[in-house]
Amino acid sequence: MSLLGTLLTGGSGLQANQKWAEVTGRNIANANTPGYHRQEVQFGSWPTALGGGTYVSSVSRSLDSSLVRMHRFEASKFYQQDAVAKGLQEYTALLGQPDDARSPAARLSEFKEALLRLENNPASAAIQRGVVSAADALAYSLRETSAALEAARQENELAIGQEIDRINRDLLRLAELNADIQTAGRMNADSLELLDERDRILDRLSQSMNIRTAEYDDGRVILYTGGGTKLVEGATTFPLRYDSGTGRIRAGDVDITPGPTNPRAFDHGRLAGLLQLKNEVLPQFGLQLDELARSLIVAFETADDSLGPGQAGLFTDSGQAYSAADLKGLAGRIAVNDAVKPEKGGQLWRVREGVAATIQQGASRLDQVQRFTAVFGEVMAFDGGTGFNDLTLEDFATHIVSFQGVTRADAERGAASTAVAVETLQNARVSMSGVSIDDELQKMMLIEQSYAANAQLIRTAASMLDELMSIV
């Protein structure tokens, strides 16, 4: 190698080491920056004809694409289950367990016991009042539970809107980043920082819905839902639009509402969980409560011989007889008939004689009370949408309280189970992409040694050249 070639070799080494030092310093400075990917320097060699030496051929981020995809998918599964569990937390806490004193199931059992006591002592005004009080407590429990469910609906509706706003902001920023990445190129620190921001947004979007991506050579991405519906391409976005009335959601003109019959949709993520609550879970819970209220009203209307056509029985729809057209929200309107409440101008003895009775036929009359208590032994038909049918009142009440509590518990267990996978994969990503200060400091020592060696090479070659020139 000529002296000039030696100088060129040493110079290229100094330049390469300078770039290596910049990258290593940047890694150390961002060791605690969330979403930062450790940067790695790749070296190349100049051809001998050009003097040999080395150069930095590229600077890349350290990451495992397969690991990233797995982590994002598991994260979307976790956030779906977590959304369902959190959306039901306050409601199911109020609902309680079947044997909790305030649950509709427990209140129904107390009402049955009160009627059985009346059957044993129909003349007792105190026991008659106990029946009315137990009926009131049952109706109140249903109204309170229905109100809590309505509050859960409203909270969920608000959460859906907030989630969609957050997603659309991220889609817009991702499109902006696509444009910036294309302009910046792939060989500078700015472009790598843009790629890190891009991946942080994709991580955040994967919490909202399961996603798929395709990447151009320059780092731009095309973003799809898990079902393949395009959300971002280049600088173009297909923002989400939500119809609160129908519970449907679109990306551009494509319906992406989660569901087994929609292959273009997404089926995981926080938004999927929120839509599952709106479109499936909460409506079923509401129907179960309304069906319990309906069965109470209708059963005690049917069992009451004192009633004429269209007259309200012991349990009413805000004072009126049941109408099939008004089932929705019935649990929030059920009330005990004022005709049995002295404070409302009614008479306690009507729980023995019949709600519409005008005179007492006898203090020891049992037939009407027995028809009331017989209600609890009847197997009834319920709307198939409840998930239950052909049950007694008590069994139906117990089943729906248990079912609703188990729905939340299942979501919590699913979230807890998936959280383990998410944490494991996150740790693997950090291990692959994170910065080890010790490792980077070791690199700095190598850079220092390499820099010193290349500097010494240049000094030696320069000294030899000076000596040669003095001879000439």
CA atoms of 213 and 201, how far apart (whole Å): 12
CA atoms of 318 and 401, how far apart (whole Å): 24
Q: State whether 115 and 190 are in the same domain.
A: yes
Task: Report the domain count for the chain.
Answer: 2
Q: State whether 73 and 58 are in the same domain.
A: no
- Classify residue 427: in a domain, yes or no: no
Tell me the residue range of the domain where 238 lies: 69-420
Q: What is the pLDDT of residue 315?
A: 98
Q: What is the pLDDT of residue 453?
A: 67
Say if residues 24 and 444 touch (Cβ distance below 8 Å): yes
Q: State whether 127 and 35 are in the same domain.
A: no
Q: What is the pLDDT of residue 186?
A: 67
- Classify residue 439: in a domain, yes or no: no
Instruction: Give alpha helix (H) positions in 227-329.
Output: 270-276, 282-302
Q: Report residue 249: phi and psi, to 5°.
A: -135, 140
CA neighbours within 13 Å on the CB side: how many for 418? 22
**pLDDT digits (tens), the chain, 472 positions:** 465 556 556 566 677 777 878 878 887 888 888 888 888 887 777 666 555 677 677 777 888 899 999 999 999 999 999 999 999 999 998 888 877 888 899 999 999 999 999 999 999 999 999 999 999 999 999 999 999 999 999 999 999 999 999 999 999 999 999 999 988 876 577 788 999 999 999 999 999 999 999 998 888 999 999 999 999 999 999 999 999 999 999 999 999 999 888 889 999 999 999 999 999 999 999 999 999 999 999 999 999 999 999 999 999 999 999 999 999 999 999 999 999 999 999 999 999 999 999 998 887 889 999 999 999 999 999 999 999 999 999 999 999 999 999 999 999 999 999 999 999 999 999 888 888 888 878 888 887 776 676 666 567 766 666 666 677 5
Helix (H, G, I), strand (E, B), or coil: what is residue 267?
coil
Say if residues 229 and 251 touch (Cβ distance below 8 Å): yes
Q: State whether 82 and 26 are in the same domain.
A: no
Q: State whether 54 and 85 are in the same domain.
A: no
Q: What is the pLDDT of residue 41?
A: 83
Q: What is the pLDDT of residue 339?
A: 97
- Classify residue 425: in a domain, yes or no: no
Chain mean position to CA 246: 20
Q: What is the pLDDT of residue 101?
A: 81
Residue 329 host element (H or E): none
Q: What is the pLDDT of residue 17?
A: 75
Q: How many CB atoms lie within 10 A of CB 427?
A: 12
* Alpha-carbon distances, residue 61 vs 193, 199, 213, 433 (angstroms): 10, 11, 18, 8
CA atoms of 438 and 431, how far apart (whole Å): 14
- Classify residue 436: in a domain, yes or no: no
* Alpha-carbon distances, residue 4 vs 62, 310, 464 (angstroms): 37, 110, 11
Say if residues 212 and 202 touch (Cβ distance below 8 Å): no
CA-based nearest residue to 287, from 230, 336, 241, 328: 328
- Classify residue 211: in a domain, yes or no: yes
Q: State whether 339 and 244 are in the same domain.
A: yes
* Alpha-carbon distances, residue 34 vs 30, 76, 136, 166, 254 (angstroms): 8, 19, 56, 19, 34
Q: State whether 190 and 243 are in the same domain.
A: yes
- Classify residue 133: in a domain, yes or no: yes
CA-based nearest residue to 43, from 457, 458, 446, 429: 446
- Token reading at 229: 């519906």
Q: What is the pLDDT of residue 190?
A: 77
Q: Report residue 84: phi and psi, to 5°.
A: -65, -45
- Classify residue 428: in a domain, yes or no: no
Q: State whether 54 and 191 are in the same domain.
A: no
CA atoms of 80 and 338, how far apart (whole Å): 46
- Classify residue 375: in a domain, yes or no: yes
Q: What is the pLDDT of residue 56?
A: 72
Q: State whether 53 and 191 are in the same domain.
A: no
Q: State whether 82 and 12 are in the same domain.
A: no
Q: State whether 12 and 120 are in the same domain.
A: no
Q: State whether 408 and 451 are in the same domain.
A: no
